[in-house]
Structure 1
Amino acid sequence: VSSSSLLTSQNRLSIDVGIVEYKSEGQHLHRFFINEADVGFGAIVVEASKRLPNYFGRKINYLPHVLGGVGSLFGYKNKRIALRVEEEVEDTCVCAMVVIANGSYFGGGMCIAPDAKPDDGLLDMIIFGDMGKSEMMKIWQMTYNGRHVSHHKVRSRKIRSVAIQCDEKILVEADGELLGEGPVSFSVLPSALSIVV
Structure 2
Amino acid sequence: MEVDRRLLTVIVNPSAGRGRALRLLDGVRAELDRWAADVRVVPTRDLAHAGRLAAEATAQGRVVVALGGDGLAGAVAGAVARAGGLLAVLPGGRGNDFARGLGLSADPRRVAAELAGFRERRVDLPEVGGRPYLGIASVGFDSDVQVIANQTRLLRGRHVYTYAALRAVAAWRPVRFTVTVDGGPPRALHGWTVAAANAAYYGGGMRFAPDADVADGLLEILLISRTSRLTFLALFPRVFTGRHVHTRHVQVLRGRRVHISADRPFAVYADGDPLADLPAEILVRPGALRLLVPAGP
Q: TM-score range by the shorter chain?
A: 0.7 to 0.9
Counterpart residue number, 1:141: 237
| Structure-2 separation of matches of 1:156 and 1:45 | 21
Contact 2:189 2:223 in 1 (8 A): no
Give 2:208's match in structure 1, choosing from 112, 125, 131.
112
Q: Which has the higher helix share?
A: 2
**By how many angstroms is 1:196 displaced?**
1.2
Counterpart residue number, 1:151: 247
Counterpart residue number, 1:43: 143
Contact 1:121 1:190 in 2 (8 A): yes
**By how many angstroms is 1:4 displaced?**
4.7
Identical aligned pairs, as a percentage?
25
- Which structure's CA Rg is the greater one? 2
CA-atom RMSD in angstroms? 2.0
Q: Which of structures 1 and 2 has the larger relative contact order (alpha carbons within 8 angstroms, sep 6+)?
A: 1
| Number of equivalent positions | 185
Q: Compute the TM-score of the two structures, normalised by the length of structure 1.
A: 0.87
Which runs of no fewer than 5 residues in structure 1 stay unpaired? 22-29
Q: Which moved more, 1:165-174 or 1:39-48?
A: 165-174
| Structure-1 separation of matches of 2:210 and 2:190 | 23
Are residue 19 (structure 1) and residue 52 (structure 2) matched? Answer: no
Give 1:97's match in structure 2, choosing from 186, 193, 200.
193
- Matched to 1:13, the amino acid is R
Counterpart residue number, 1:123: 219
| Structure-2 separation of matches of 1:92 and 1:18 | 23
**By how many angstroms is 1:62 displaced?**
1.7
Contact 1:37 1:99 in 2 (8 A): yes
**By how many angstroms is 1:193 displaced?**
0.7
Q: Which moved more, 1:166-175 or 1:143-152?
A: 166-175
Q: Compute the TM-score of the two structures, normalised by the length of structure 2.
A: 0.59
The CA deviation string for residues 49-104 of structure 1, in whole angstroms up to 9 with x for no partner, is 11111x35xxx422211111110111011100111111211111202001111000
Contact 2:128 2:275 in 1 (8 A): no
Contact 1:47 1:178 in 2 (8 A): no
| Structure-2 separation of matches of 1:140 and 1:193 | 33
| Structure-2 separation of matches of 1:131 and 1:103 | 25
Counterpart residue number, 1:24: none
**By how many angstroms is 1:9 displaced?**
6.8
| Structure-2 separation of matches of 1:173 and 1:146 | 20
- Matched to 1:69, the amino acid is A
Contact 2:198 2:214 in 1 (8 A): yes
Q: Which has the higher strand share?
A: 1
Which runs of no fewer than 5 residues in structure 2 stay unpaired? 1-33, 39-61, 64-115
**By how many angstroms is 1:143 displaced?**
0.5
| Structure-1 separation of matches of 2:222 and 2:186 | 17
